[in-house]
Amino acid sequence: MKTDDPREPRIRDLTPEEIAAGIALQQAEAAKMLAEAEVAQNDALKKAAETRMALAMADAAVIALHEKEREELVDLAGHAEWLAADERHHVYQFNGAVESATVKTCMKQLAIWNRSEPGCDIEIVFHSPGGSVIDGLALFDYILSIRAKGHHVTTTALGYAASMAGILLQAGDTRRMGREAYVLIHEISTGAIGKIGEIEDEVTFVKKIQSRVLDIFVDRANGKIKKATMERKWRRKDWWLDSTEALKYGLVDEIA
């Protein structure tokens, strides 16, 4: 069966020049299609790169937003911590032994509050084993001077206020004590060494201090305890008082 279309020329009817021209035309069309495919591929790669860039920028924006939110939360937490800080509420935590360094640090903070906020209420919380009597009495007098300048000073014992810390507890306008806290009162101690005359002088001086300390306790007790009773209670022993006993003897005004 013959299938040739009589309207189309057969290859054997074409001249070599016509065949070559046809081949060149097909090659040109194929090259054009290849070029168009390459352009389309390049466009697709470009769009893919742009998409990746947009996604990366979106991720960066999300990260930046989260970081900003985190910083804002940190700022808010820091601000809340500052608002609640003891320093801002004029509360001084006296933890540790009563000695030159701790006394100076406490007095420095009290001086800042006195000069920057005259008349503000102040609380000193003692959790201390006591320590140096001379350094402690310096702080005692400083607290009295702060009170004289119009500050209402509350002294509080938490845990325990032992020895010199128990004396410092008496310096406040209002003396408070935790329900499960303790106060330790005992005779003034000394580590005197040297010639017997020097030791005798030291003992005389310590007895003078001890008499003044007894007066501090008795004066603040408002008649609830006598000096003779104090001397008997602490002579040659440690006298531990819980919060109920301290309130009974007038050594604190209230139990927290």
Q: Which residues are catalytic?
A: 163, 186
Query: Of 178, 167, 168, which Cα lies nearest the Cα of 242?
Result: 178
Would strands 174-177 and 182-185 be described as parallel, antiparallel, or unpaired? Answer: unpaired
Element at 255 (helix H, strand E): strand 254-255
Closest CA to 126 of 151, 147, 143, 112: 143
Tokens read off for 193:
């060494």
Q: Kindly provide the b/e burial profile for residues 16-36, where b requires at least 16 CB atoms within 10 angstroms of the residue's own CB.
A: eeeeeeeeeeeeeeeeeeeee
Pick the closest to residue 160 from 143, 173, 178 (CA basis). 178
Alpha-carbon gap, residue 183 to 126, rounded angstroms: 10
Strand-pair partners of 223: none
